[in-house]
Amino acid sequence: MAETYEVIVVGGGFAGIEAATKLGRAGVRTLLVDVHGYHQFQPLLYQLATAQIGVSELARPLRSIFRRQPSVRVLTAGVAAVDPGRRTITLTDGTVYEADDALIVACGAEANFFDTPGARENAYPLYSATDATRLGSKLVALLDQADKDTEQKSMNVAVVGAGPTGVETAGAIADAINYVVPKLFAGDLAKRCSVALVDMVDRTLGGFSKKSQAYAASRLVERGVRLKLGSAVTEVREDGLSFADGATMDADLVIWAGGLKAGKLLRESGMPQGRGGRIDVAKDLTVPGYEGVYVLGDAANITDDRDERLPQLGSVAKQSGGWAARNILAQRAGRPTEPFGYKDRGYMAMIGRGSAVAELGRGRRLVRGPAAFLVWLAVHLALLSGASQKARALVSWIFAFLSHSRQHVFVGSPEQADVVERTDRPAA
Ligand SMILES: Cc1cc2nc3c(=O)[nH]c(=O)nc-3n(C[C@H](O)[C@H](O)[C@H](O)COP(=O)(O)OP(=O)(O)OC[C@H]3O[C@@H](n4cnc5c(N)ncnc54)[C@H](O)[C@@H]3O)c2cc1C
């Protein structure tokens, strides 16, 4: 007999945490399962990879988040399968749990390499704290190697994907080359380092306004980021990239920020998959044909009141989690569910020191430059989970900004981190 809970939540990301928190406050017997014992704040992963913050700033133990909610049980385990018809989950060790009232699937997404030859083997994705740690270790190892190199070779980084993640990552690496490397390394190492941002589309920050796109491109170029836009990457090699237009680019490190897709759990769930392999959910966030089954956040294709598809954003995930909990509580009280009412607060992206763009609210009011930089810092500080995480992040930001130095280290080599990467996730 499977152990039963009133609600089961798969995934302790923005969506899963928000749902479990609201259910926990209402005293609902909830099981929250995540393969990691911690919640990770993905918007700051590029800062972890560039040692601006440490892992304990963006990751928070799930058990600590729910320590005052006795009706929520946190389980650190990989979910191997979900059965939406029976509202059951099966862990990788074969244990089965059943949900009486509702099953919430909020398992996020994974890097989409779009079957680009060599990308999975040679590129570094940036989707988890493990990815960021592995990438940071690699960056440090390459800098140390270039520093020792008697032939004074160059150290080139290429970032694939010029969306917000790619822009933020390329900008942060450029800032490190411009400000941190000259301070921490002797000689002319900074002059031998470069970063390029590449994308098949001919603009940065897709989804933002043309003004924001132009601003981001100009600020990146100003920082020394080489832009190669408008040509698809056709191969990722150990030593660089090949493009559809016949060009090639040397790179000691390729970072993949090229997009997301649904993971194996959704692919094998039998639920109807839509764009990106995500599950097309109804207006009330349930899966059509499966009573009491909700798919949220990055795992779902969610539409707003204008029938427009919402992007894969922390705010969408968090609000969808809260709304699903509200609908579950309504159903338990015998009331009907309600369509998701998304509050659109806009988009923002950090380009680097003193430069950011924010398009605020549904009207997309444009803020750029130092003002947007401060808005970005304030919003991300507010969104971070946990008071001690916020305090530590603030100290790290102030230290990094004022000192042009780094106080965080990566323990282990990129290869060691790679082993963790392959073993700490459920099979993809
Ligand atoms: C690098 C990066 C930068 C971003 N920057 C921003 C930003 O600036 N602003 C913004 O709004 N959004 C940003 N986003 C998007 C935002 O982080 C996501 O939209 C949001 O995290 C999605 O939340 P989620 O709860 O759906 O999934 P996730 O946060 O991905 O959480 C999913 C959870 O499910 C767990 N899980 C997955 N599979 C299993 C399994 N089989 N068994 C058990 N557990 C499992 C994972 O461990 C994870 O904890 C960024 C994303 C990335 C990757």
Residue 123: per-residue pLDDT: 97
pTM above the 0.85 mark?
yes
Average pLDDT, the chain: 93
Alpha carbon 290 to its chain centroid, in Å, reads 28
pLDDT digits (tens, 9 = 90+) for 355-379: 999 999 888 999 999 999 999 999 9
Mean pLDDT of 73-84: 97
* Confidence (pLDDT) at 1: 79
pLDDT tens, residue by residue, 51-70: 999 999 999 999 999 999 99
Is residue 73 within 8 A of residue 31, CB to CB? The reply is yes
Residue 346's nearest CA partner among 336, 356, 354, 333 is 356
- pLDDT bin (cut points 50, 70, 90) of residue 305 is confident
Over residues 216-225, mean pLDDT? 97
Residue ranges of domains in the chain, CATH in brackets? 3-35+77-109+262-332 (3.50.50.60), 119-260+346-421 (3.50.50.100)
Instruction: Output phi, psi for 263, to 5 deg.
Output: -85, 180
Residue 423 has pLDDT above 50, yes or no: no
- To the query of whether residue 168 is one of the catalytic residues in this protein, the response is yes
Among 52, 107, 110, say which to mutate for ligand 1: greatest number of ligand atoms within 8 Å of CB. 107
Q: How far apart are the C-alpha atoms of 426 and 69, rounded to whole Å?
A: 27
User: Would you state the pLDDT for residue 152?
Assistant: 84
Reported as a pLDDT band with limits 50, 70 and 90, residue 416 is low
> What is the DSSP code string of 81-96?
EEETTTTEEEETTS-E
Mean pLDDT of 25-42: 97
pLDDT of residue 419: 37
pLDDT attached to residue 391: 93
Give residue 362's pLDDT: 84
Would the CA dihedral through 65, 40, 321, 91 be positive or negative? Answer: negative
pLDDT (average), residues 264-280: 94
313 in ligand 1 pocket by Cβ < 6 Å?
yes
Residue of 38, 42, 310, 347 best suited for mutating to test ligand 1, as the one with most atoms within 8 Å of CB: 42
Strand ranges in 139-261 using DSSP code E only, listed in sequence order: 155-160, 193-199, 226-229, 233-237, 240-243, 248-250, 253-256, 260-261
From ligand 1's centre to the CA of 180, what distance in Å? Answer: 29
Residue bearing the bigger pLDDT, 1 or 20: 20
